[in-house]
Amino acid sequence: MNDFVFHIPTKMYFGRQCLDKLSSEMKGSGSRVLIVYGGGSVVRSGLLGRIKDQLRDDFTVFEHSGIEPNPKIGSIRIGADLCKEKDIDMILAVGGGSVIDASKAIAAGACVDFDPWEFYGGPRRPIEKALPLYTVVTMASTGSEMTCGAVISNDETCEKLGRGGFPVFPKASFLDPQLTFSVPRFQTAAGAADILSHVMESYFKKDVDFFMLDRMMEGVMKTVIVNARIALDDPENYEARGNLMWAASWAINGLFGGGSRQVWSCHPIEHELSARYDMTHGLGLAIIMPKWMRYCMKTDPETCSKIRDFGAAVFGASDENEAIAKLEDFLYGDLGLASSLSAAGIENIDAADMAASICKKGNINGYLPLDETAVTEILEACI
Ligand code: NZQ
Ligand code: ZN
Contact 100, 143 (CB under 8 A): no
* Domain at 11-179: CATH code: 3.40.50.1970
Residue among 321, 335, 305, 103 at smallest CA distance from 196: 335
Q: For residues 180 and 244, what is the distance between their CA atoms, to the nearest angstrom?
A: 10
Q: Which atom of ligand 1 is nearest to the CA of 187?
A: 20
The DSSP annotation for 65-80 comes to: --PPSS-BHHHHHHHH
Nearest listed ligand to the Cα of residue 285: 2
Ligand 2 center from residue 317 Cα (angstroms): 25
pLDDT tens digits along 251-309: 999 999 998 989 999 999 999 999 999 999 999 999 999 999 999 999 999 999 999 99
Per-residue pLDDT tens listing for the chain (383 residues): 889 999 999 999 999 999 999 999 999 999 999 999 999 999 999 999 999 999 999 999 999 999 999 999 999 999 999 999 999 999 999 999 999 999 999 999 999 999 999 999 988 999 999 999 999 999 999 999 999 999 999 999 999 999 999 999 999 999 999 999 999 999 999 999 999 999 999 999 988 889 999 999 999 999 999 999 999 999 999 999 999 999 999 999 999 999 898 999 999 999 999 999 999 999 999 999 999 999 999 999 999 999 999 999 999 999 999 999 999 999 999 999 999 999 999 999 999 999 999 999 899 999 999 999 999 999 999 99
Residue among 382, 273, 293 at smallest CA distance from 338: 382
Q: Whose CA is nearest to atom 26 of ligand 1?
A: 69
The second-level CATH assignment, the architecture, of 185-382 is Up-down Bundle (1.20)
Domains 11-179 and 185-382 share a fold: no
Containing 365, the helix (H) or strand (E) segment is strand 364-365
Ligand 1 center from residue 69 Cα (angstroms): 6
Angle between the N-to-C axes of helices 320-328 and 304-315, in degrees from 0 to 180, rounded to the nearest 10: 50
Angle between the N-to-C axes of helices 238-251 and 185-203, in degrees from 0 to 180, rounded to the nearest 10: 40
Contact 143, 122 (CB under 8 A): no
Contact 199, 216 (CB under 8 A): no
Ligand 2 center from residue 211 Cα (angstroms): 24
Contacts of 377 (CB under 8 A, 6+ apart): 295
Contact 267, 301 (CB under 8 A): no
Q: Is 339 helix (H, G, I), strand (E, B) or coil?
A: coil
pLDDT at 75: 98
Could you report how far apart the first and last alpha carbons of the chain are, in Å?
Answer: 38
Q: For residues 382 and 369, what is the distance between their CA atoms, to the nearest angstrom?
A: 19
For the chain, domain boundaries: 11-179, 185-382
Q: Given ligand 1 and candidates 41, 137, 188, which is best to mutate, with the most ligand atoms within 8 Å of its CB?
A: 41
b/e sequence 134-166, b meaning 16+ C-beta within 10 Å: bbbbbbbbbbbbbbbbbbbbbeeeebbbebbbe
User: Which protein residues are within 6 Å of ligand 1, measured from CB?
Assistant: 38-42, 69-70, 95-99, 101, 138-139, 141-142, 144, 147, 149-151, 179-180, 182-184, 187, 191, 194, 252, 267, 274, 281-282
Ligand 2 center from residue 287 Cα (angstroms): 13
pLDDT at 1: 86
Q: Whose CA is nearest to atom 15 of ligand 1?
A: 183
| Adjacent-strand bridge partners of 194 | none
Ligand 1 center from residue 187 Cα (angstroms): 8
Ligand 2 center from residue 318 Cα (angstroms): 28
pLDDT at 74: 98
How far is CA 314 from its chain centroid?
A: 21
